[in-house]
Amino acid sequence: MHSLTLPTPGFGTYRLKGDDAKLAVENALDVGYRHIDTAQAYENEAEVGDAISASKIPRGELFVTTKVWFDNLSADKFITSVQNSLTQLNTDYVDLLLIHWPSPDNKVPMEEYLHELKACKERGLTEHIGVSNFTQSQLDQALSILGKDHILTNQIEVHPHFQNKELVAYCQRNNIQVTAYMPLGVGKVMENDVLNDIASAHDTTPSAVTLAWLSHKKIVAIPSSTNVNHMRDNLTAKQMMLTAEEIEKIDAIEPQERIVDPDFAPDW
């Protein structure tokens, strides 16, 4: 079993660039976030690194995640790209290194890039390893390559409008923590009547209700925000206790629609 539970909520930095990214991460650390999620593809690792350095928080108190982009999955590029990420982040290691997307059309065999991922852990470049956007069949393959209990998490799209129930259940059965990206459904939760009704009953926001629901499901969330008040709300949401009836109402939300589905995505 993994002894580590990912700190939740984490702070997501997708779409944050330049000074906006640096300021957002500085503010997130200031209000109490200790788990920061970035990626090579976000083109903000340097700003995230600057914010972490400026915070003066001891490195051991932070949990930093980055992800290897699919252009860098081949054995001749993988470790060099990770070392570049560490330079950008101004750290000797990350706490969690993920494969951002499975190699499109299996251009790089999974065995090759998972071997490189494991090598990064063995070399001390990362404490933990995991994947993102992997389907059940891809996880089956990954588990057969790496063995059980190596994959800490599968970071996938999960929010009330896309609950991804089968994949979540599969991960949890196989001792793989689920990390939900876009946990607020790019703002869609704010317009949902069910979530608004529950939020009113608790004198809070639909975002906080959503994060409390994810916490109840033992799903790690990495919401993104540039608004300090929203950051604070998101951080305290996991302490909210929803009733069984409220959980059931959220579980029943329709329609269920995936937001993230690029042309290089796996065959979901």
Coil, helix or strand for 204? Answer: coil
Residue 3 confidence (pLDDT)? 56
Omega within 30 of 0 (cis) for the link into 223: no
Q: Strands across the sheet with 126-132, in order?
A: 11-12, 35-37, 63-68, 94-99, 126-132, 151-157, 177-181, 220-221
| Domain harbouring 75, CATH code | 3.20.20.100
Per the listing, tokens 């750290």 go with: 91
pTM, full prediction: 0.96
Is residue 171 one of the residues assigned to a domain? yes
- Residue 211's domain comprises 11-251
Is residue 148 one of the residues assigned to a domain? yes
The count of structural domains within the chain is 1
Is residue 263 one of the residues assigned to a domain? no
DSSP 102-146: PPGGGSS-HHHHHHHHHHHHHTTSEEEEEEES--HHHHHHHHHHH
Residues paired with residue 66 on neighbouring β-strands, in sequence order:
97
* Nearest of 168, 124, 131 to residue 146 by alpha carbon: 131
Is residue 81 one of the residues assigned to a domain? yes
d(CA 172, CA 174): 5
Is residue 227 one of the residues assigned to a domain? yes
Give pLDDT tens digits along the chain (268 positions).
455 789 999 999 999 999 999 999 999 999 999 999 999 999 999 999 999 999 999 999 999 999 999 999 999 999 999 999 999 999 999 999 999 999 999 999 999 999 999 999 999 999 999 999 999 999 999 999 999 899 999 999 999 999 999 999 999 999 999 999 999 999 999 999 999 999 999 999 999 999 999 999 999 999 999 999 999 999 989 889 999 999 999 999 999 999 999 999 999 9
Contacts within 8 Å (CB) and 24+ apart, 53-57: 53/90, 54/22, 54/26, 55/26, 55/29, 55/30, 57/29
Is residue 34 one of the residues assigned to a domain? yes
Is residue 190 one of the residues assigned to a domain? yes
d(CA 129, CA 67): 10
Q: Residues 42, 113, 170, 181: which is the catalytic one?
A: 42
Residue 175 confidence (pLDDT)? 96
d(CA 192, CA 26): 31
Active site residue 113: no
Is residue 46 one of the residues assigned to a domain? yes
Residues paired with residue 64 on neighbouring β-strands, in sequence order:
36
